[in-house]
């Protein structure tokens, strides 16, 4: 048995859907040469991450070993796979490989964060390979909901790993490469050590549906409309954009793209030669002069994002365009769990304007980009791996996926972020637990999820905030009275007097009664002030606020 | 034409799902005698109402006319219909009428808030009626997902209104009264002026399903389990609790109820003689000694509520009970839109413990309590109203429901909270817009949604908070330097120096350069401090915090 080993280590995306980042290594323990697969983001929410702009994996482990990183591979251009490449590059400084369209988007991500665009290199599709230390990595075309998605064929001295990336089995994907069973069979024919496999739709029991079924339904829908038609989908689903735009044109409508992300994606797809026959579009300026019955808008914001075009339109005019009674708004998309509130708010805002809303409830106007359970099973059967490691799923998805492996006699393991798995043996083996976690882009700064900064913000949101000020003179005597300023708290409470007066009075008494030893000690005095405010607020308004105590000692 | 009129005014529940409160009035304009139907709550969320405990309708309009209120009627004991009766009673001081089970729950709500329980009066079911000024109101049994739900038959000199309350058409509801077509036909036979109708499931196209279908499926599921079975549903769905408990007993299991809300509901249903044959239950203490394969827990928390039994169990031991690998957790419930994050978090926590989760994805283990579209249409056909007013729905639901009315030649109107509708004529007519809104229970205090208190909390959550202190001596000179305390903000930014140092340095310079006229004027000085902090923070960390400026002038 060689002393070298093959390892797999997820740092993001395993135990969650979002911020994908997977590491493979080969070499002597703790000396493995490493490759990174994907550097994605996930999106914040008010519940757990108020004020945060983006969330991405904690890459400290990688950063400490950056001299061992041979390359970064990006499977496809979705935000949860490519979104953090610009944010992380400075700390990793390894070349980034992707196919042309993905590289185009990756370069924009690098540019945005001041990272060197030239470090993004275009890789040709499998059977071409990129040599990265002990690895040879091929980017094998696989169908998904964005052009040029790749599964990775990762060859190492310990054998071949197939990392599916996000995928579905679609032989008629409208745009880009159909799923190629023959190619995958050939890739698998000499044996595959491990299949690291998308798990998103493991709970969907029906066979997956092809992108091609959407077009005819959308055409029927649009043809029946008399007002303006507005449709939204994921900006990156270029095939869907094409389907929607073509349905619009077929119904005699001019098409206008609204929203930066959507225009960017179409630009990139055109630039890379993927999108050759997209209908010509009109500018918002031109759209204003086109009769509503001849106009179709394709807009960003399928997830209810507050600043996207759909939300803007639901609130009023956007770039001079406006929805009216009798228009139609089509969600050609699925609401990602957790985004319901935003989407519903937009639906109701449109409803108030008399706009009819059609969504994916009937399953006619959207298909998923991920393999459903029968398709996952087909992939297992094609690849016939020795080991199955589910990824791209919450814990419940990974666990369910391992159950499938078990039922087929494939050695499976639930490997969540931070679990280093050795793949060299016949069965996967957990060899180490790495500290993994989340990093927040907060304004222009990167902060750790456990720094307590966001926790303090959540506490202020839940409890309100009191600033208490005390001035103490040169002799150590109180100068004037303690003084409170409240934020986010009721102005009056139980006693009907202004809360600020009650607090100041209680503080005054407490400080008056306090020992000299407390007054002279900043920590003790602060503790006293905090305790009095929390107790007194609790009596008055049933709430214990966050407290900032400012003690000014004149000297 | 009489100078008296019949009016309808929703103050909650029309344009939203939650906090139901509807007003009917009859009399000369602005002298109408009033009845109130339902006083419900809605639940807060971090996005819009962080820290808030409960949300209920702004009843200022009613309070200002409390001498004109004849009675309050509660249709059924769901929180969104009865939850605010204790919170509002003091301001309205009118007798509360409900059927026995609902009254039992309403009394608990009164007691909780120190309102007089005796003002809740038990009304007998239709054809009995309560006389309330010009109105005669009958509480007519109607099937829903809680016992003793009532539709109201409201007779006034201007005609009969049928207010459905929440309902479904269920002839086999397991517990309580089946939907009685014959009774409703009789109620309608002399003509109904207006049908004010539940709209929750107007987008569900299939016919509704009866509660009775759930039992056999649950029995099959439980019979196949070897570990402990834990099931959750809405605590108030007493029929479902019975179904679940009976399925457990049929599979040879002892049943244990966990969670206060669930025990309360069962208690109330037993006390009112509704629940006569609930299987005997064991206490958590006793449950500990029962083998897992013979035990079933019925727990609260189907919506992922953080403090409910399901969340507690997903985190570890609860009252000495613990889930283990091989146990089953059944969601016999639907996730209400907006609650997905909490529910998913619990599912994954159970998954980590090796617990299998079954939810309503396949439609086997839950049926809705609201009428689907075909059932709504049947209700229209039974009642044959002159006017249809949809309620209990977001704007999109109300609008869709009016479209149905239009298609049938019934005069419909989208009436949202605050729209006063006159029903005396042949068509509904909007006669006034009332200021309606939301009141928050915040700790122990009631605050207005527009008071700015919660807005300040949201701002602190998004932007962080800086306290800046300045001491100015008797001569108007700065004593020492400006001093900052940060909360919820990154400690360092662009310049790599501590952010607090950068802010204090910038403040020092700005104050040093400021005119005497600024230093001497609290408002101007505060404005300067705020501006410098926001600008300087924005440069350093890309974020403009909330600022509390404390200026201490020694005198």
Residues 6+ apart with CB under 8 A from B521: none
Cα dihedral sign, B501-B502-B503-B506: positive
Closest-CA residue of A relative to B337 is A340
Quote the tokens at residue B465. Answer: 């908070």
- Over residues B354-375, the mean pLDDT reads 94
Of the pLDDT bands very low, low, confident and very high (cuts 50, 70, 90), residue A2 is low
Query: Which residues in chain B are contacts of A348 at CB distance < 8 A?
Result: 15, 394-396
The CATH label, of 1.25.40.10, 3.40.50.920, 3.40.50.10710, 3.30.9.80, for the domain at B211-358 is: 3.40.50.10710
Residues 6+ apart with CB under 8 A from B381: none
Q: Which of B461, B494, B552 sits opposite A444 (nearest CB)?
A: B494
At which residue do the structure tokens 């050695």 appear?
A411
Query: Which residues in chain B are contacts of A488 at CB distance < 8 A?
Result: 51, 453-454, 456-457, 460
Q: What is the pLDDT of residue A554?
A: 82
Express the helix, strand and coil content of chain A in percent, nearest 5 each: 35, 25, 40
- Residues above pLDDT 70, as percent of chain B: 100
Residue A1 pLDDT greater than 70, yes or no? no
Of the pLDDT bands very low, low, confident and very high (cuts 50, 70, 90), residue B79 is very high
Q: What is the pLDDT of residue B552?
A: 87
Q: Which of B340, B488, B548 sits opposite A457 (nearest CB)?
A: B488
CATH topology assigned to domain A5-206+368-448: Metallo-beta-lactamase; Chain A (3.60.15)
Query: Which residues in chain B are contacts of A445 at CB distance < 8 A?
Result: 490, 492-493, 541-542
Q: Which of B447, B483, B541 sits opposite A445 (nearest CB)?
A: B541
Residue B190 pLDDT greater than 60, yes or no? yes
Which residue of A305, A487, A541 to mutate against B (max B Cβ within 10 Å)? A487
Which residue of A113, A314, A334, A443 to mutate against B (max B Cβ within 10 Å)? A443
Q: How many angstroms separate the CA atoms of A159 and A136, rounded? A: 11
Give A155-187 as a DSSP string.
Answer: EETTEEEEE--S----S--SSSPPP-HHHHHHH
- Residues above pLDDT 90, as percent of chain A: 95
Q: What is the pLDDT of residue B1?
A: 47
Q: How many angstroms separate the CA atoms of B133 and B469, rounded? A: 61
Q: What is the pLDDT of residue A553?
A: 87
A–B: how many Cβ contacts below 8 A?
A: 203
| Residue contact A456–B488, C-beta within 8 A | yes
Query: Which residues in chain A are contacts of B472 at CB distance < 8 A?
Result: none
| Residue contact B344–A352, C-beta within 8 A | no
- What is the 8-class DSSP label of residue B156? E
Which residue of B113, B199, B351 to mutate against A (max A Cβ within 10 Å)? B351
Residues A124-146 as b/e (b if ≥16 CB within 10 A, e otherwise) read: eebeebbebbbbebbbbbbbbbb
Range list of H helices, A408-498: 453-463
| Residue contact B203–A361, C-beta within 8 A | yes
A143: alpha, beta or left, given left = phi > 0 and alpha = psi -120 to 50? beta
Query: Which residues in chain B are contacts of A490 at CB distance < 8 A?
Result: 442-443, 445, 447, 453
Residue A168 pLDDT greater than 60, yes or no? yes
| Residue contact A443–B542, C-beta within 8 A | yes
| Residue contact A442–B554, C-beta within 8 A | no
Quote the tokens at residue A445. Answer: 């700064």
Distance from CA of B295 to the nearest CA of A (A): 24
Q: What is the pLDDT of residue A216?
A: 95
Hey, is A319 helix, strand or coil?
coil
- Over residues B501-526, the mean pLDDT reads 95
Closest-CA residue of A relative to B346 is A396
Of the pLDDT bands very low, low, confident and very high (cuts 50, 70, 90), residue B476 is confident
Residue B50 pLDDT greater than 50, yes or no? yes
Which residue of A351, A373, A542 to mutate against B (max B Cβ within 10 Å)? A351
| Residue contact A483–B443, C-beta within 8 A | no
Q: What is the pLDDT of residue A195?
A: 98
Which residue of B50, B358, B484, B538 to mutate against A (max A Cβ within 10 Å)? B50
| Residue contact B461–A46, C-beta within 8 A | yes
Residues 6+ apart with CB under 8 A from A59: A11, A21, A39, A88, A91, A92, A439
Which run of H or of E encompasses A440? strand A438-442
Residue B340 pLDDT greater than 60, yes or no? yes
Long-range contacts, stretch B111-117, CB < 8 angstroms, 24+ apart: B111/B86, B112/B86, B113/B86, B113/B87, B113/B89, B114/B86, B115/B85, B115/B86, B115/B89, B115/B90, B116/B89
Domain boundaries, chain A: 5-206+368-448, 211-358, 464-553
HSE of B367, CA atoms in CB hemisphere, 13 A: 29
Helix axis angle for B499-513 and B522-541, nearest 10°, is: 140
The 10s digit of each residue's pLDDT in B105-130 is 999 999 999 999 999 999 999 999 99
Same fold, A5-206+368-448 and A211-358: no
| Residue contact A203–B361, C-beta within 8 A | yes
Quote the tokens at residue A125. Answer: 């599709």
- Over residues B34-46, the mean pLDDT reads 97
Q: How many angstroms separate the CA atoms of A12 and A449, rounded? A: 14
Q: Is there a contact between A382 and A353 (Cβ–Cβ < 8 Å)?
A: no
Residue B451 pLDDT greater than 90, yes or no? yes
The 10s digit of each residue's pLDDT in A494-546 is 999 999 999 999 999 999 999 999 999 999 999 999 999 999 999 999 999 99
CA-CA distances (angstroms) from residue B300 to A132, B55, B236, B266, B328?
53, 21, 10, 12, 15
The 10s digit of each residue's pLDDT in B383-435 is 999 999 999 999 999 999 999 999 999 999 999 999 999 999 989 999 999 99
Query: Which residues in chain A are contacts of B467 at CB distance < 8 A?
Result: 467, 548, 550
End-to-end CA separation in angstroms for chain B:
73
**Could you give the ipTM of this predicted complex?**
0.94
HSE of A79, CA atoms in CB hemisphere, 13 A: 14
Residue A555 pLDDT greater than 80, yes or no? no
Q: What is the pLDDT of residue B2?
A: 56
| Residue contact A50–B46, C-beta within 8 A | yes
Q: What is the pLDDT of residue B437?
A: 97
Mean pLDDT of chain A: 96
The 10s digit of each residue's pLDDT in A198-211 is 999 999 999 999 99
Q: Comparing C-alpha atoms, which of B476, B468, B475, B474 is closest to residue B499?
A: B468
B34: alpha, beta or left, given left = phi > 0 and alpha = psi -120 to 50? beta
Query: Which residues in chain A are contacts of B490 at CB distance < 8 A?
Result: 442-443, 445, 447, 453
Mean pLDDT of chain B: 96
Cβ-based neighbour number of residue A501 at 10 Å: 12
| Residue contact B541–A15, C-beta within 8 A | no
- What is the 8-class DSSP label of residue B357? E
The CATH label, of 3.10.20.580, 3.40.640.10, 3.40.50.2300, 3.40.50.150, for the domain at A464-553 is: 3.10.20.580
Which run of H or of E encompasses B57? strand B54-57
- What is the 8-class DSSP label of residue B332? -
The 10s digit of each residue's pLDDT in B208-237 is 999 999 999 999 999 999 999 999 999 999
Alpha carbon B1 to chain centroid distance? 41
Task: Name the pairing type of β-strands B438-442 and B54-57.
Answer: antiparallel
Residue A475 pLDDT greater than 90, yes or no? no
The 10s digit of each residue's pLDDT in A169-190 is 999 999 989 999 999 999 999 9
Q: How many angstroms separate the CA atoms of B7 and B26, rounded? A: 6
Cα dihedral sign, B183-B185-B189-B194: positive
- Over residues B360-379, the mean pLDDT reads 95
The 10s digit of each residue's pLDDT in A37-69 is 999 999 999 999 999 999 999 999 999 999 999
| Residue contact B456–A347, C-beta within 8 A | no
End-to-end CA separation in angstroms for chain A:
73
Q: Pick the range with the lowest mean pLDDT from A307-311, A335-339, A524-528.
A: A335-339
């Amino acid at each position: 048995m060689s002393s070298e080993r093959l390892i797999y280590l997820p740092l993001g995306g395993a135990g969650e859907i979002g911020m994908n980042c997977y590491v493979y290594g080969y070499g002597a323990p703790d000396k493995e040469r490493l490759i990174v697969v994907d550097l994605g983001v996930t999106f914040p929410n008010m519940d757990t991450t108020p004020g945060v702009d983006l969330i991405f994996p904690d890459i400290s482990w990688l950063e400490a070993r950056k001299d061992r990183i041979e390359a970064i591979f990006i499977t496809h251009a979705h935000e949860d796979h490519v979104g953090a490449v610009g944010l992380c590059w400075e700390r990793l400084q390894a070349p980034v490989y992707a196919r042309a369209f993905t590289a185009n988007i990756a370069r924009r991500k690098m540019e945005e964060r001041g990272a060197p665009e030239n470090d993004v290199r275009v890789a040709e599709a499998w059977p071409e390979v990129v040599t990265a230390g002990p690895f040879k990595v091929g980017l094998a075309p696989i169908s998904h909901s964005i052009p040029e998605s790749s599964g990775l064929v990762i060859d190492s001295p310990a054998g071949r790993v197939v990392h599916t990336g996000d995928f579905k089995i679609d032989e008629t994907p409208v745009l880009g490469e159909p799923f190629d069973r023959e190619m995958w069979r050939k890739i698998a024919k000499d044996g595959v050590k491990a299949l690291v496999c998308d798990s998103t739709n493991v709970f969907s029991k029906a066979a997956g549906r092809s992108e091609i079924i959407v077009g005819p339904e959308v055409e029927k829908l649009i043809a029946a409309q008399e007002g303006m038609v507005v449709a939204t989908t994921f900006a990156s689903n270029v095939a869907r954009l094409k389907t929607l735009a073509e349905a619009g044109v077929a119904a005699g409508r001019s098409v206008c793209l609204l929203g930066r992300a959507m225009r960017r994606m179409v630009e990139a797809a055109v630039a890379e030669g993927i999108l050759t026959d997209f209908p010509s579009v009109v500018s918002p300026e031109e759209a204003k002069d086109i009769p509503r019955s001849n106009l179709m808008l394709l807009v960003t914001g399928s997830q209810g994002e507050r600043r996207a075009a759909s939300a803007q339109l639901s609130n009023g005019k956007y770039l001079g365009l406006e929805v009216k009674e009798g228009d139609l708004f089509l969600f050609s998309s699925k609401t990602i769990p957790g985004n319901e509130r935003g989407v519903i708010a937009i639906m109701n805002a449109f409803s108030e304007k008399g706009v009819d809303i059609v969504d994916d409830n009937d399953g006619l106007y959207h298909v998923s980009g991920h393999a459903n359970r029968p398709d996952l099973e087909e992939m297992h059967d094609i690849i016939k791996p020795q080991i199955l490691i589910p990824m791209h799923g919450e814990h419940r998805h990974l666990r369910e996926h391992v159950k499938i492996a078990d039922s087929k006699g494939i050695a499976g393991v639930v490997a969540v972020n931070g679990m280093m798995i050795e793949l060299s043996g016949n069965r996967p083996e957990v060899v180490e637990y790495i500290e993994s976690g989340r990093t927040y882009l907060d304004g222009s700064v990167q902060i750790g999820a456990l720094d307590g900064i966001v926790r303090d913000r959540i506490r202020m949101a839940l409890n309100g905030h009191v600033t208490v000020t005390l001035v103490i003179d040169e002799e150590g005597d109180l100068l004037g009275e303690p003084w409170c300023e409240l934020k986010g708290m009721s102005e009056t409470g139980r006693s009907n007097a202004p809360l600020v007066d009650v607090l100041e009075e209680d503080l005054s008494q407490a400080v008056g009664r306090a020992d000299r030893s407390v007054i002279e000690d900043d920590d003790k005095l602060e503790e006293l002030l905090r305790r009095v405010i929390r107790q007194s607020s609790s009596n008055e308004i049933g709430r214990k606020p966050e407290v900032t105590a400012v003690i000014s000692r004149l000297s």
